[in-house]
Protein backbone atom coordinates (compact mmCIF):
# COMPACT_ATOMS: atom_id res chain seq x y z
CA UNK A 1 0.00 0.00 0.00
CA UNK A 2 1.17 3.49 -0.67
CA UNK A 3 -0.64 6.28 1.04
CA UNK A 4 2.10 8.65 2.09
CA UNK A 5 0.56 12.01 1.23
CA UNK A 6 -3.06 11.24 1.84
CA UNK A 7 -5.11 14.28 2.81
CA UNK A 8 -8.13 12.38 3.96
CA UNK A 9 -8.14 10.22 7.03
CA UNK A 10 -10.59 7.70 5.66
CA UNK A 11 -8.56 7.24 2.51
CA UNK A 12 -5.41 6.97 4.46
CA UNK A 13 -6.42 3.82 6.30
CA UNK A 14 -4.00 1.24 5.07
CA UNK A 15 -4.74 -2.40 4.49
CA UNK A 16 -3.45 -3.29 7.91
CA UNK A 17 -5.90 -1.15 9.79
CA UNK A 18 -8.56 -3.20 11.47
CA UNK A 19 -11.50 -1.26 10.15
CA UNK A 20 -14.16 -3.52 11.60
CA UNK A 21 -13.54 -2.20 15.11
CA UNK A 22 -14.08 1.33 16.31
CA UNK A 23 -10.87 3.08 17.26
CA UNK A 24 -10.52 4.30 20.84
CA UNK A 25 -8.43 7.27 19.80
CA UNK A 26 -8.45 8.78 16.37
CA UNK A 27 -6.63 11.78 14.94
CA UNK A 28 -7.74 13.30 11.64
CA UNK A 29 -5.70 15.59 9.43
CA UNK A 30 -3.67 17.13 12.27
CA UNK A 31 -1.70 20.20 11.21
CA UNK A 32 0.78 21.93 13.50
CA UNK A 33 3.12 24.66 12.37
CA UNK A 34 5.80 26.54 14.27
CA UNK A 35 6.18 29.78 12.35
CA UNK A 36 7.25 28.64 8.91
CA UNK A 37 8.26 25.20 10.06
CA UNK A 38 5.59 22.60 9.43
CA UNK A 39 5.67 20.08 12.28
CA UNK A 40 2.64 18.07 11.24
CA UNK A 41 1.22 18.19 7.73
CA UNK A 42 -2.19 16.54 7.86
CA UNK A 43 -1.49 13.42 9.90
CA UNK A 44 -4.11 10.80 10.72
CA UNK A 45 -3.82 8.05 13.29
CA UNK A 46 -6.09 5.37 14.71
CA UNK A 47 -5.59 3.45 17.91
CA UNK A 48 -7.69 0.33 18.42
CA UNK A 49 -8.60 -1.33 21.72
CA UNK A 50 -5.95 -3.64 23.12
CA UNK A 51 -3.22 -2.87 20.63
CA UNK A 52 0.28 -1.50 20.90
CA UNK A 53 0.88 1.15 18.27
CA UNK A 54 4.48 2.23 17.81
CA UNK A 55 5.35 5.57 16.30
CA UNK A 56 8.75 5.74 14.66
CA UNK A 57 10.45 8.34 12.54
CA UNK A 58 13.69 10.18 12.05
CA UNK A 59 14.49 13.29 14.06
CA UNK A 60 12.23 16.11 12.93
CA UNK A 61 9.75 13.72 11.30
CA UNK A 62 7.04 14.99 13.62
CA UNK A 63 6.57 12.04 15.95
CA UNK A 64 7.06 14.10 19.09
CA UNK A 65 4.75 16.81 17.78
CA UNK A 66 2.15 14.19 16.94
CA UNK A 67 2.29 12.71 20.40
CA UNK A 68 2.22 16.15 22.01
CA UNK A 69 -0.98 16.92 20.09
CA UNK A 70 -2.50 13.64 21.31
CA UNK A 71 -1.61 14.28 24.95
CA UNK A 72 -2.50 17.96 25.20
CA UNK A 73 1.09 19.21 25.43
CA UNK A 74 0.54 21.04 22.11
CA UNK A 75 -2.66 22.28 20.52
CA UNK A 76 -2.88 21.43 16.79
CA UNK A 77 -3.63 24.31 14.38
CA UNK A 78 -6.29 22.31 12.57
CA UNK A 79 -7.51 18.75 12.61
CA UNK A 80 -9.72 16.63 14.80
CA UNK A 81 -9.20 14.36 17.76
CA UNK A 82 -11.79 11.73 18.63
CA UNK A 83 -11.82 9.72 21.82
CA UNK A 84 -14.33 6.86 21.80
CA UNK A 85 -15.79 8.43 18.66
CA UNK A 86 -16.48 11.76 20.36
CA UNK A 87 -14.58 14.89 19.35
CA UNK A 88 -12.27 16.18 22.08
CA UNK A 89 -9.84 19.05 22.33
CA UNK A 90 -7.06 19.33 24.86
CA UNK A 91 -5.66 22.69 25.88
CA UNK A 92 -3.36 21.34 28.57
CA UNK A 93 -1.91 17.93 29.53
CA UNK A 94 -4.36 17.85 32.44
CA UNK A 95 -7.27 17.86 29.97
CA UNK A 96 -5.94 14.78 28.21
CA UNK A 97 -5.33 13.08 31.54
CA UNK A 98 -8.85 13.87 32.71
CA UNK A 99 -10.15 12.31 29.48
CA UNK A 100 -8.19 9.11 30.20
CA UNK A 101 -5.01 9.60 28.18
CA UNK A 102 -2.04 9.03 30.47
CA UNK A 103 1.48 9.84 29.37
CA UNK A 104 4.78 8.49 30.69
CA UNK A 105 7.50 10.97 29.92
CA UNK A 106 11.04 10.27 28.93
CA UNK A 107 12.22 12.25 31.92
CA UNK A 108 10.94 10.03 34.70
CA UNK A 109 8.18 12.09 36.21
CA UNK A 110 8.34 10.53 39.64
CA UNK A 111 9.06 12.18 42.96
CA UNK A 112 12.26 10.55 44.26
CA UNK A 113 11.81 11.09 48.00
CA UNK A 114 8.21 9.83 48.09
CA UNK A 115 7.52 6.13 48.36
CA UNK A 116 6.09 3.94 45.59
CA UNK A 117 2.50 4.12 46.81
CA UNK A 118 2.63 7.91 47.26
CA UNK A 119 3.97 8.26 43.75
CA UNK A 120 1.23 6.07 42.29
CA UNK A 121 -1.38 8.26 43.95
CA UNK A 122 0.43 11.58 43.56
CA UNK A 123 -2.06 14.25 42.55
CA UNK A 124 -5.09 12.01 43.24
CA UNK A 125 -4.66 10.95 46.82
CA UNK A 126 -7.51 9.17 48.54
CA UNK A 127 -8.80 10.29 51.90
CA UNK A 128 -10.18 8.29 54.77
CA UNK A 129 -13.89 7.85 54.95
CA UNK A 130 -16.05 9.81 57.36
CA UNK A 131 -15.15 12.81 59.40
CA UNK A 132 -11.40 12.03 59.44
CA UNK A 133 -11.32 12.41 55.68
CA UNK A 134 -13.85 15.15 55.12
CA UNK A 135 -12.97 17.51 57.98
CA UNK A 136 -9.43 16.52 58.91
CA UNK A 137 -8.41 15.65 55.33
CA UNK A 138 -6.65 12.54 56.57
CA UNK A 139 -5.11 10.37 53.86
CA UNK A 140 -6.08 6.73 53.62
CA UNK A 141 -2.43 5.66 53.58
CA UNK A 142 -3.18 2.01 54.32
CA UNK A 143 -5.84 1.78 51.64
CA UNK A 144 -3.65 3.45 49.04
CA UNK A 145 -0.75 1.12 49.85
CA UNK A 146 -2.98 -1.92 49.50
CA UNK A 147 -4.34 -0.67 46.17
CA UNK A 148 -0.86 0.15 44.93
CA UNK A 149 0.30 -3.35 45.81
CA UNK A 150 -2.64 -4.91 43.94
CA UNK A 151 -2.05 -2.68 40.93
CA UNK A 152 1.62 -3.62 40.70
CA UNK A 153 0.80 -7.30 41.14
CA UNK A 154 -1.76 -7.15 38.34
CA UNK A 155 0.82 -5.65 36.04
CA UNK A 156 3.19 -8.44 37.00
CA UNK A 157 5.75 -6.08 38.52
CA UNK A 158 7.25 -8.63 40.85
CA UNK A 159 10.36 -6.65 41.77
CA UNK A 160 8.36 -3.99 43.58
CA UNK A 161 7.03 -5.93 46.54
CA UNK A 162 7.39 -3.14 49.05
CA UNK A 163 5.36 -0.07 48.12
CA UNK A 164 6.73 1.87 51.11
CA UNK A 165 10.23 2.11 49.61
CA UNK A 166 11.21 5.60 48.44
CA UNK A 167 11.43 5.70 44.66
CA UNK A 168 15.01 6.99 44.80
CA UNK A 169 16.09 3.62 46.18
CA UNK A 170 14.85 1.89 43.02
CA UNK A 171 16.72 1.11 39.83
CA UNK A 172 15.94 2.99 36.62
CA UNK A 173 13.79 0.16 35.31
CA UNK A 174 11.82 -0.06 38.52
CA UNK A 175 11.24 3.69 38.50
CA UNK A 176 9.98 3.47 34.95
CA UNK A 177 7.73 0.62 36.12
CA UNK A 178 6.29 2.92 38.78
CA UNK A 179 5.66 5.60 36.15
CA UNK A 180 3.98 3.09 33.83
CA UNK A 181 1.93 1.60 36.64
CA UNK A 182 0.72 5.09 37.56
CA UNK A 183 -0.32 5.69 33.98
CA UNK A 184 -2.10 2.36 33.71
CA UNK A 185 -3.92 2.58 37.02
CA UNK A 186 -7.09 4.54 37.65
CA UNK A 187 -8.97 3.24 34.62
CA UNK A 188 -7.07 5.09 31.94
CA UNK A 189 -8.20 4.54 28.33
CA UNK A 190 -4.91 5.12 26.56
CA UNK A 191 -1.30 4.98 27.79
CA UNK A 192 1.33 6.92 25.86
CA UNK A 193 4.97 6.05 26.43
CA UNK A 194 7.51 8.56 25.16
CA UNK A 195 10.87 6.83 24.64
CA UNK A 196 10.32 4.68 27.74
CA UNK A 197 13.58 2.75 27.38
CA UNK A 198 15.89 5.53 26.17
CA UNK A 199 17.67 5.87 29.50
CA UNK A 200 17.64 2.20 30.43
CA UNK A 201 19.99 -0.75 30.05
CA UNK A 202 19.09 -3.88 28.10
CA UNK A 203 17.74 -5.83 31.03
CA UNK A 204 15.73 -2.93 32.38
CA UNK A 205 14.38 -2.16 28.91
CA UNK A 206 13.07 -5.71 28.76
CA UNK A 207 11.22 -5.21 32.04
CA UNK A 208 9.50 -2.20 30.55
CA UNK A 209 8.62 -4.07 27.36
CA UNK A 210 7.10 -6.85 29.47
CA UNK A 211 5.08 -4.17 31.16
CA UNK A 212 3.82 -2.88 27.82
CA UNK A 213 2.69 -6.39 26.95
CA UNK A 214 0.97 -6.66 30.33
CA UNK A 215 -0.93 -3.46 29.56
CA UNK A 216 -2.07 -4.91 26.24
CA UNK A 217 -3.24 -8.07 28.00
CA UNK A 218 -5.38 -5.90 30.25
CA UNK A 219 -6.91 -4.37 27.15
CA UNK A 220 -5.31 -0.96 27.57
CA UNK A 221 -4.11 0.33 24.21
CA UNK A 222 -0.59 1.74 24.20
CA UNK A 223 1.15 4.27 21.98
CA UNK A 224 4.90 3.91 22.21
CA UNK A 225 7.48 6.21 20.68
CA UNK A 226 10.87 4.66 20.23
CA UNK A 227 14.10 4.83 18.30
CA UNK A 228 14.88 1.25 19.07
CA UNK A 229 13.78 -0.89 16.09
CA UNK A 230 14.22 -4.32 17.71
CA UNK A 231 12.10 -3.20 20.65
CA UNK A 232 9.46 -1.74 18.36
CA UNK A 233 9.26 -4.92 16.34
CA UNK A 234 9.11 -7.02 19.49
CA UNK A 235 6.26 -5.23 21.16
CA UNK A 236 4.16 -3.41 18.54
CA UNK A 237 1.06 -4.68 16.77
CA UNK A 238 1.20 -1.88 14.22
CA UNK A 239 3.87 0.67 13.43
CA UNK A 240 3.07 4.22 12.35
CA UNK A 241 5.99 5.69 10.39
CA UNK A 242 6.36 9.47 10.34
CA UNK A 243 8.40 11.16 7.65
CA UNK A 244 8.76 14.91 7.02
CA UNK A 245 5.67 15.83 9.00
CA UNK A 246 3.47 13.24 7.29
CA UNK A 247 2.51 9.67 7.86
CA UNK A 248 4.64 7.69 5.44
CA UNK A 249 2.95 4.38 6.17
CA UNK A 250 1.41 2.17 8.80
CA UNK A 251 2.91 -1.30 8.75
CA UNK A 252 2.99 -4.36 10.94
CA UNK A 253 6.00 -6.37 12.13
CA UNK A 254 4.66 -9.23 10.00
CA UNK A 255 4.26 -7.28 6.75
CA UNK A 256 7.61 -5.55 6.76
CA UNK A 257 11.13 -6.19 7.97
CA UNK A 258 13.15 -3.87 10.14
CA UNK A 259 15.27 -2.88 7.16
CA UNK A 260 12.17 -2.00 5.16
CA UNK A 261 10.82 0.07 8.04
CA UNK A 262 14.05 2.02 8.22
CA UNK A 263 13.97 2.48 4.45
CA UNK A 264 10.44 3.94 4.64
CA UNK A 265 11.52 6.14 7.54
CA UNK A 266 14.42 7.59 5.56
CA UNK A 267 12.52 7.84 2.27
CA UNK A 268 14.57 5.20 0.48
CA UNK A 269 11.43 3.15 -0.05
CA UNK A 270 7.68 3.62 0.04
CA UNK A 271 5.47 1.10 1.76
Partner 1 sequence: MTDTAPKTGSLDLAEEFLDRTTPLTRIRGILHRHPAISPALVLLVAVIVFGLLNDRFLRPENLSLISQQVAVVGTLAIAQTLVILTAGIDLSVGAIMILSAMVMAQTAASTGVPPVLCLLLGLVVGLAAGGLNGLLVTRLKLPPFIVTLGTLSIFTAVTLLYTGGTTVRGSEIPPLLTFTGVTFSIGGISLTAGVLIMVLLYLIMAYALNRTAWGRHVYAVGDDKEAARLAGISVNRVLVSVYLAAGAIIAVAAWIQIGRTNAASPNSGVDLNLDSITAVVIGGTSLFGGRGAVWGTLLGALIVGVFRNGLALAGLDVLYQTLAVGVLIIVAVALDQWIRKARS
Q: Between residues 107 and 270, which has the closer beta carbon with respect to partner 1? A: 107
Phi and psi at 122, nearest 5°, equal -60, 125
Binding string, 9-38, against partner 1, x = CB under 8 A?
------------------------------
123 part of the interface to partner 1, by CB under 8 A: yes
234: which residues sit within 8 A by CB, 6+ positions away?
A: 209
Q: Which stretch binds partner 1 (CB under 8 A): 54-62, 81-89, 112-120, 217-225?
A: 112-120
CA 95 from chain centre, in angstroms, equals: 15
Bridge-partner residues for 245, per DSSP?
Answer: none
Alpha-carbon gap, residue 239 to 54, rounded angstroms: 5
The only residue of 108, 214, 244, 263 in contact with partner 1, by rule CB under 8 A: 108
Shortest Cβ 237–partner 1 spacing (Å): 16
Residue from the set 78, 84, 87, 125 that interacts with partner 1 by CB under 8 A: 125
Q: Are 243 and 39 in contact (CB under 8 A)?
A: no
**Is residue 113 near partner 1 by the rule CB under 8 A?**
yes
Stretch that binds partner 1, among 15-23, 36-44, 57-65, 123-131 (CB under 8 A): 123-131
The whole-angstrom separation of Cα 117 and Cα 123 is: 12
Minimum Å distance from CB 257 to partner 1? Answer: 13
Taking CB under 8 A as the criterion, the residue among 1, 38, 88, 114 binding partner 1 is 114
CB of 92 to partner 1, least distance (A): 10
Q: Does 142 bind partner 1 (CB under 8 A)?
A: no
Give the residues lining the site for partner 1 (CB under 8 A).
93-94, 97, 105, 107-114, 118-119, 122-125, 127, 136-139, 141, 158-159, 166, 168-171, 173-174, 182, 202-204, 206-207, 210, 230, 234
Amino acid sequence: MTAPASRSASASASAHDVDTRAPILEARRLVKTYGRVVGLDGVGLKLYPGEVLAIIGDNGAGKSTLVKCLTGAEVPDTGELLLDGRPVSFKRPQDARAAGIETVYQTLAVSPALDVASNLFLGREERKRGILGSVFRMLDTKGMRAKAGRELAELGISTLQDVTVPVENLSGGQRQAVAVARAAAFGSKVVVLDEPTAALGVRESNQVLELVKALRERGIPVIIISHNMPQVFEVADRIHIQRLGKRAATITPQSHSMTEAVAIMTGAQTA
